[in-house]
Amino acid sequence: MSTHSHPTPLRHLGPNWYATVMGTAIVASAGAALPVHAPGLRGAYEAVWALAVLLLLTLLAARAAHWGRHPDQARRHLGDPAVAPFYGCLAMAVLAVGGSTLSVGSGVVGERAAVAADAVLWVAGTGIGLAAAAAIPYLMVTRHRIAPGDASPVWLLPVVAPMVSAALGPALVPHLPAGQWREAMLLGCYALFGASLLATLVILPAVVARLIHHGPLPLALTPTLFLVLGPLGQSTTAVGNLADVAPGAVAAPYADALAGFAVLYGVPVMGFALLWLVLAAAMTLRAVRGGMGFAMTWWAFTFPVGTCVTGAAGLARHTGLTALTWVAVGLYALLVTAWALAAARTAAGLVSGRLLAAPRPAPPAPARAMARTT
């Protein structure tokens, strides 16, 4: 019997749903990374981490069922240039849960179990991320039909996944045998950092050019402007975390140089991230005034901001600058607010069934043109 005649709620469950896992896990791990600690918060972080684990397991099962029951729709997602980049979210969801298991969940499951879980999830997430970083651009070149005005911050999702690996891999370095294993892991993470950074530097100009030449994004896509913060905050986090573990992995001259690089790279990039945050917030406020309603794109307000929290926290740790501690705390307050809002609206949309309903057809071209000019 055809699955077309009996559609299920899972038919329209896209890979973008993994953003809920990413956004939840980073609330826990970014909180644990803050330079300031208040009593009672550790339990809250552990509760959010447990929720992220539950979300990941649920979504992995739901997406497996989606591929099994609706392979036509799954293949259509890969062929859709607006949906395919979200396959990068699978890798980042797996990596984010692994990282938060070690940084937050170790107090619940024990350090040995947390290290084992993080190691498995890091290897799996890194493999998936590298596959997406190569496969999605390949599909964009060979299969997708992309117009000059179609460039989107969503294009960053597949190529930022290796940066998440670079940022979370250092936590595993001390648990590896001294010598070749640690050095290979450290330098491998720098290679992942470079792969993601250079790919971002190729894509970001296309996104900015699209904004300048074609005007603001459609209302529902406006929150995706926050995705640009992801590679910025995550790369700052990566160089800081790598510098922390470098003394146990490479010779002293290199370890000292990497500590300097963490600050010399991180401070300018964090400056650009804060500038982009202001721009994205202004565009979002404009979209809200224009009638922007809730969509799953609101999850773009969470994980990218969380990477800036961990990036600022790492810079505060390396410089001792109190101002950076306050930047990290302020960004974390923004993250928690955005997460609570997105989570509440998502839960309401699931209960009503609206979020898993078939997408409405796009308006005809004249209507789209009118929407752009208003």
The pLDDT, as a whole number, for residue 2 is 39
118 exposure class (CB count in 10 Å sphere: 0-12, 13-18, 19+): buried
CATH number at residue 235: 1.50.10.150
Q: Does the pLDDT value for residue 280 go beyond 50? A: yes
Name the average pLDDT for the chain. Answer: 90
Question: Total structural domains in the chain?
Answer: 1
- Dump pLDDT digits (tens) for 93-122: 999 999 999 999 998 999 999 999 999 999
The pLDDT, as a whole number, for residue 103 is 94
Q: Is residue 360 part of a domain?
A: no
Q: Is residue 363 part of a domain?
A: no
Higher-scoring residue by pLDDT: 144, 169:
169
Q: Is residue 304 part of a domain?
A: yes
What is residue 337's three-state secondary structure?
A: helix
Round to whole Å and give the CA distance between 39 and 130: 39
Higher-scoring residue by pLDDT: 229, 352:
229
141 exposure class (CB count in 10 Å sphere: 0-12, 13-18, 19+): exposed
Q: Is residue 372 part of a domain?
A: no
Q: Report residue 8 CA to chain centroid gap.
A: 28
| Residue whose entry in the numeric block shows the structure tokens 């009593």 | 39
Q: What is the DSSP string of 75-109?
A: HHHHH-TTTGGGGHHHHHHHHHHHHHIIIIIHHHH
Domain range enclosing 83: 9-354
Q: Is residue 324 part of a domain?
A: yes
Both tokens of 273, joined, read 């991230």
Round to whole Å and give the CA distance between 27 and 99: 12
Give 368's pLDDT tier (boundaries 50, 70, 90).
very low
Q: Is residue 370 part of a domain?
A: no
Q: Does the pLDDT value for residue 135 go beyond 90? A: yes
Q: Is residue 125 part of a domain?
A: yes
pTM metric for this prediction:
0.91
Q: Is residue 101 part of a domain?
A: yes
- Dump pLDDT digits (tens) for 184-239: 999 999 999 999 999 999 999 999 999 999 999 999 999 999 999 999 999 999 99
Instruction: Give the whole-number percent of the chain exceeding pLDDT 90.
Output: 78
Instruction: Give the whole-number percent of the chain exceeding pLDDT 70.
Output: 93
Round to whole Å and give the CA distance between 104 and 100: 5
